[in-house]
Amino acid sequence: MPRMTFILQDGSCREVDAPAGLSVLEIAQRNGVELEGACGGSCACSTCHVIVGEAWFAKLEPASEEEEDMLDLAFGLALTSRLGCQIRMREALDGLVVTLPAATRNMMVDQ
């Protein structure tokens, strides 16, 4: 089974099983990693924003226009930013490393 590593906000690492077919958001939630996913993984917010390790970024499928639009709302955007709900694990991504940003912006919460 593929594995992946989350670099948490405090700098610590959590390596977890990453079943093929699940999104990075689903994997995080199954393993108690604090990745919000306010829209339920429907690519309608930016709360599952992650920063993909540079060595892995080119191995991902390109971001859709919809994902790019949502990333524009993300806090702490980086060149290798992606939405966790849009990255589907597969064998070729075994060892994937993603970093959680310092904060998230939840535009779906009533203020």
Looking at residue 110, what is its pLDDT? 39
- The pLDDT of residue 75: 87
**In angstroms, rounded to a whole number, what is the distance separating the alpha carbons of residues 43 and 71?**
10
Question: Alpha-carbon torsion 69, 77, 91, 15, what sign?
Answer: negative
Instruction: Give 64's DSSP letter.
Output: P
What is the set of domains in the chain, with CATH numbers? 3-99 (3.10.20.30)
pTM here is: 0.91
Model confidence over 4-51: pLDDT tens digits? 999 999 999 999 999 999 999 999 999 999 999 999 999 999 999 999
The per-residue pLDDT for range 66-99, each reduced to its tens digit, is 999 999 999 899 999 999 999 999 999 999 999 9
